[in-house]
Amino acid sequence: MTVGVGIIGTGVMGAEHGRLLDREISGAQVRAVFDLDAGRAAAIAASLRSARVCDDPFELITESTVDAVVVASSDPTHEQFVLAALAAGKPVLCEKPLAPDVAGCERIIAAELAAGRQLVSVGFMRRFDPGYQQLKQAVEGDRLGLPLMLHCTHRNQQAPAGLSSELLISGSAVHELDIARWLLGEELSRVTVHRPRSSRVSQPTEDPLFLVLESSSGVLIDIEVFLNSGYGYEVRCELVAEQGTVFLDAPAPIIERRAGDVLRTVPADWRPRFAAAYRNELQNWIDSIGRGLPCEAATSWDGYAATVAAQAAILALRTGDPQPIGGMARPELYPAPVGSDRLTQTVAPA
């Protein structure tokens, strides 16, 4: 079956999903696109082989040629479109965050529970990155022992002007909040946010920020998030365990030696860095719809958990105090984070 896809939002990510679905993903056809900016939607539709512009996002969702929906519109609009896709009984891949506020995520979960089946996937694409997948395999294997600490670095080249400090957490560090849960196979329990001196390029935005979290078994996670790093887009991650560490580097770097320098290229944004991840995520999503294969993407429970942690971190930023990361009990519809009992043993002091 060819899966007909409708895309809501044709900004950077909507356009990228459209290009990938059209050119690199098998079993899919983009049939309709919507954007508040009709000119932008028309330009993207023209670049795709079989898409037409739809001028109402809710009509796009119910349109008979659209089997599944990608939501890549602005963060506050995600909830209404995901709820409409659920009401239409159609699978939906929603860019992160699922919803910026916890209540919005709860309404999505309630609607999905009422539908009685999982239809919502959240675009935490790093789960499909070959590097992160190898990191997870290493963590789950026997050779490293129990995980103790996770050091994360997340740098963008340049932040959009006027970006709020909260968005450093809900738009960027939220990826690490998800990947930490996924890698460790457990929930996060507490967060503190430190504010180093802000870069003069970023002021008045507080940038960089430094988050320190604890997992429920006692692993310590630190996240540097720096959106005006100036030099490029870079994501690093090192897991420190009892018997060694495992470090995630940039994939397949080209290293140039010239005129007394050793130069390694850094991409300008996340699309080249996570190209394989976006492709694998979309292919898996399409295969789960068209061929009935298991969908490995983050669920709305994962989207909810990431937003709960992000909101706790935003409160920690504002108050300067550590904040607990709570939330409701996981409904049975959603699988528990995958780890092993061995990984999540509490590390008792000697």
Beta bridge partners of 143: none
* Given 165, 172, 229, 307, the residue binding ligand ISE (CB under 6 A): 172
Residues 8 to 27: which contact ligand ISE by CB under 6 A? none
Q: Name the minimum Å distance from CB 224 to ligand ISE.
A: 12
Q: Which stretch binds ligand ISE (CB under 6 A): 29-37, 168-176, 192-200, 242-250?
A: 168-176
**Interface characters, 141-160, with ligand ISE (x: CB under 6 A):** ---------------x----
Nearer to ligand ISE, 277 or 308 (CB): 277
Q: Name the minimum Å distance from CB 113 to ligand ISE.
A: 27
The string of DSSP letters for 146-184 reads: SEEEEEEEEE-S-PPTT--HHHIIIIIIHHHHHHHHHHH
What is the b/e burial string over 184-221, where b = at least 16 CB atoms within 10 angstroms of the residue's CB?
bbbbbbbbbbeeeebbeebeebbbbbebbbbbebbbeb
Distance from the first to the final alpha carbon of the chain = 58
Q: Name the minimum Å distance from CB 177 to ligand ISE.
A: 12
Q: Which stretch binds ligand ISE (CB under 6 A): 63-71, 128-136, 170-178, 303-311?
A: 170-178
* Strands of 220-226's sheet in order across: 244-248, 234-241, 147-155, 220-226, 209-215, 188-194, 323-324
The most distant pair of C-alpha atoms in the chain lies apart, rounded to whole Å, by 64
Q: Which stretch binds ligand ISE (CB under 6 A): 22-30, 74-82, 167-175, 210-218?
A: 167-175
Residue whose tokens read 């979309």: 282
Q: Name the minimum Å distance from CB 175 to ligand ISE.
A: 6
Nearer to ligand ISE, 233 or 301 (CB): 233
Report the sign of the C-alpha dihedral through residues 35, 278, 245, 178, in that order: positive
Q: Name the minimum Å distance from CB 41 to ligand ISE.
A: 20
Nearer to ligand ISE, 187 or 207 (CB): 207
CB 330 within 8 A of CB 216: no
Residues 252 to 281: which contact ligand ISE by CB under 6 A? 270
Nearer to ligand ISE, 30 or 169 (CB): 169
Cis preceding linkage at 204, omega within 30: yes
Q: Which stretch binds ligand ISE (CB under 6 A): 25-33, 169-177, 203-211, 214-222?
A: 169-177
Nearer to ligand ISE, 172 or 323 (CB): 172
Nearer to ligand ISE, 29 or 172 (CB): 172
Site for ligand ISE (CB under 6 A): how many residues? 5
Nearer to ligand ISE, 171 or 339 (CB): 171
Q: Look at phi and psi of residue 9 and say left if phi exceeds 0, alpha if psi is from -120 to 50, else beta.
A: left
Pairing of strands 255-258, 261-264: antiparallel
Q: Name the minimum Å distance from CB 89 to ligand ISE.
A: 28
Pairing of strands 209-215, 244-248: unpaired
Q: To which H or E segment does residue 92 belong?
A: strand 92-94
* Given 25, 175, 229, 308, the residue binding ligand ISE (CB under 6 A): 175
Where on the chain is the footprint of ligand ISE (CB under 6 A)?
156, 171-172, 175, 270
